[in-house]
């Protein structure tokens, strides 16, 4: 346990060793499958290789699991391809009921899912429970959507033919997911694909694959047929997924992750004109106007900045505050962030867990150091926490020059850079000054201004007087380099449906009967 001086945030890090790992953690790990899942069977990888999944709060190994090879990836796609035809013919109601049972099972096992996510990803247990509720909700939402897929039958405008339009499952889909929301990023893709009648290959992030393995056992228990979902966790992401993306049996790629990897995958997918959905990086502005309810704005900033320790694509990356409330807002934010306890996510006091790995923490510190070198002032934090694990102090930076890297790159850590503005137009220009366009937040009591912002900000999502927008019933996604397509909402299932049009000769052409 380490306690830093009183100027710094309260820090209490984890020092767990293997022998002291709590019994419930050991039992949960022991209950997990360790293989890859192909055609309903858990198997070793084709070359017998394995890799270790570690706990970011102390660097200790949680579990050794199979490390899929390109041959395993091929077998997974073959299984998905073989299962596709029959799966597409199942009744929508049957698919809906599998999803609904999965929702009930995940909810019943919420504590296990939460603990596992905390162990492999680091987030505090309370946040992990929040993710279980959010992630499970996609199962319930799409169980309700499964039987609402419809088409249309119409008379052509010239009256000489009939138009029949139907929706069909797009077919075998490859999902590549990130480590920051191990359950929700998977269910946001898997649930609509099941609802639409698509089979799948999932490649979860190598840092956090265990949640997907547990989730697969739940889907099996819920009655998902063999071959519909195949899982190939691997440390060889490009080597395993590249051949699949170039394989004509694959009909869809849905990726959530960084813009850098996403753009390369789009280029690969272009070779066979593969349909893609891309949920990529963000650089969210959070604007606080002079008329904002400051309590609400600070609360919103805490949520938008510190949810998931700042390791969220929706994280507020730039706090843009009107000059008249800058001092007050900054003081309140510093006070709130300072009170956050940094600790292993299983500690009841934990409000911020470790960052996911050494590289992520090094990148965060590099951005902070660069800002300080460029003239920024550290109002709080600004240091990596010594000791085991990848902890970083909640940090507030002020006085940043406009070209500081931290204002233009995704931080992915508990660091809040604050800049000021003097007019609404300037705030909009600052907010839009980025290649990303996932989400923006604004706090104002002026509804007309809120509506103007909703039209002027170049984003896929906008939070008005709220620091959280994610909702399974709403279309999640971005514009510009934040991605293509939407997940959740009525729109989410469309990513897994193809439109087919049938032209039909005028049934009266030969004369009415
Ligand atoms: P990442 O490095 O892009 O990795 C995402 C996934 O892509 C992982 O499964 C990764 O596998 C895989 N991958 C990496 N290189 C690949 C390649 N050459 N070919 C195929 N797959 C490859 O992103 P991350 O660090 O996991 O996640 C953080 C990023 O995700 C941030 O930019 C964040 O904004 C974004 N994100 C976006 C959303 C959204 O909805 N817009 C949601 C969450 C996160 P390995 O695990 O083996 O590296």
Domain range 284-464, CATH class: alpha beta
Q: Is the CB of 437 under 6 A from ligand 1?
A: no
Residue of 51, 177, 178 to test ligand 1 pocket, by largest number of atoms within 8 Å of CB: 178
> What pLDDT, on the 0 to 100 scale, is given for residue 8?
44
Rounded Cα gap, residues 256 and 251, in angstroms: 17
206 Cβ below 6 A of ligand 1: yes
Q: What number is the average pLDDT over the span 331-351?
A: 97
Given a cut of 60, is residue 267 above it in pLDDT?
Answer: yes
* Whole-number percent of the chain with pLDDT over 70: 96
Residue 398 Cβ inside 6 Å of ligand 1? The answer reads no
The CA 264 to ligand 1 mean position distance, Å, reads 12
Question: What is residue 512's predicted lDDT score, i.e. its pLDDT?
Answer: 73
Q: Residues of 254-287 as b/e, b for ≥16 C-beta within 10 angstroms?
A: bbbbebebbeebbebbeeeebbbbbbbbbbbbbb
- Closest ligand 1 atom, CA of 360? 25
CATH superfamily of 35-280+485-497: Aldehyde Dehydrogenase; Chain A, domain 1 (3.40.605.10)
**How high is the pLDDT of residue 15?**
46
- 426 conformational bin, left if phi > 0, alpha if psi -120 to 50, beta if neither: alpha
Q: How far apart are CA 205 and CA 210, in angstroms?
A: 10
Number of the ligand 1 atom closest to the C-alpha atom of 262: 3
Query: For the segment 411-454, what is each residue's pLDDT rounded down to a tens digit?
Result: 999 999 999 999 999 999 999 999 999 999 999 999 999 999 99
CB 288 within 8 A of CB 297: yes
Mean pLDDT of 203-221: 98
Atom of ligand 1 nearest to the CA of 259: 32
**First-residue to last-residue Cα distance in the chain:** 88
Residue 263 DSSP SS3: helix
CA–CA dist 114, 117 (Å, integer): 5
487 CA distance to ligand 1 middle (Å): 16
Compute, in angstroms, the gap from residue 180 CA to the centroid of ligand 1.
9
Domain ranges of the chain: 35-280+485-497, 284-464
* pLDDT given at position 313: 98
Residues marked active site are found at 279, 313
Nearest to 205 by CA among 213, 194, 196, 216: 213
Q: How many CA atoms lie within 13 A of 284 on its CB side?
A: 32
Ligand 1 atom having least distance to the Cα of 203:
9
| The predicted structure's pLDDT at residue 21 | 61
For 363-411, the pLDDT digits (tens) are 999 999 999 999 999 999 999 999 799 999 999 999 999 999 999 999 9
| Percent above pLDDT 90 for the chain | 95
Mean pLDDT score, 41-47: 98
The model's confidence at residue 61, banded by pLDDT at 50, 70 and 90, is: very high
pLDDT for residue 3:
32
């Amino acid at each position: 346990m380490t306690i830093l001086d009183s100027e710094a945030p309260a820090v209490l890090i984890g020092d767990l060793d293997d022998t002291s790992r709590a019994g419930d953690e050991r039992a949960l790990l022991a209950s997990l499958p360790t293989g890859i899942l192909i055609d309903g069977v858990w198997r070793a990888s084709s070359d017998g290789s394995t890799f270790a999944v570690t706990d970011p709060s102390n660097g200790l190994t949680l579990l050794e699991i199979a490390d899929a090879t390109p041959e395993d990836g091929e077998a997974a796609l073959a299984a998905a391809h073989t299962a596709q035809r029959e799966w597409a013919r199942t009744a929508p109601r049957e698919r809906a009921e599998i999803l609904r049972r999965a929702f009930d099972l995940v909810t019943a096992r919420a504590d296990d899912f939460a603990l596992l996510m905390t162990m492999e990803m680091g987030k505090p247990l309370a946040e992990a429970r929040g993710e279980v509720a959010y992630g499970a909700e996609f199962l319930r939402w799409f169980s309700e959507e499964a039987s609402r897929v419809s088409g249309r039958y119409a008379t052509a405008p010239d009256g000489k033919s009939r138009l029949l339009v139907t929706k069909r499952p797009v077919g075998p889909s490859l999902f590549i997911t990130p480590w920051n929301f191990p359950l929700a990023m998977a269910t946001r893709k898997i649930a609509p694909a099941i609802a639409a009648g698509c089979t799948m290959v999932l490649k979860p992030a190598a840092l956090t694959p265990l949640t997907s393995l547990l989730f697969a056992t739940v889907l099996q228990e819920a009655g998902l047929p063999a071959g519909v979902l195949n899982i190939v966790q691997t440390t060889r992401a490009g080597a395993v997924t590249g051949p699949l993306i170039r394989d004509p049996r694959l009909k869809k790629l849905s990726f959530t992750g960084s813009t850098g990897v996403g753009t390369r995958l789009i280029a690969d997918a272009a070779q066979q004109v593969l349909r893609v959905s891309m949920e990529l990086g963000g650089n969210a502005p959070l604007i606080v106007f002079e008329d904002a309810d400051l309590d609400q704005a600070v609360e919103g900033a805490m949520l938008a900045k510190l949810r998931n320790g700042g390791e969220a694509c929706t994280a507020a990356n730039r706090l843009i505050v009107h000059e008249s409330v800058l001092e007050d807002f900054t003081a309140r934010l510093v006070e709130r962030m300072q009170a956050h306890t940094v600790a292993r996510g299983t500690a009841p006091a934990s409000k911020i867990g470790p960052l996911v790995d050494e590289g992520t923490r090094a990148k965060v510190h590099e951005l902070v150091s660069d800002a300080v070198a460029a003239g920024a002032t550290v109002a709080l934090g600004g240091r990596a926490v010594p000791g085991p694990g990848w902890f970083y102090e909640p940090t507030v930076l002020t006085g940043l020059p406009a070209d500081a890297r931290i204002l233009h790159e995704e931080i992915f850590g508990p660091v809040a850079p604050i800049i000021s503005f003097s007019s609404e137009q300037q705030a909009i220009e600052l907010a839009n000054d980025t290649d990303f366009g996932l989400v923006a937040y604004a706090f104002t009591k002026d509804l007309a201004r809120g509506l103007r912002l909703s039209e002027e900000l170049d984003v896929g999502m906008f939070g008005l007087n709220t620091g959280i927008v994610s909702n399974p019933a709403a279309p999640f996604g971005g514009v510009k380099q934040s991605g293509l397509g939407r997940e959740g909402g009525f729109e989410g299932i469309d990513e897994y449906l193809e439109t087919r049009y049938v032209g039909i000769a005028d049934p009266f052409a030969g004369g009415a009967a």
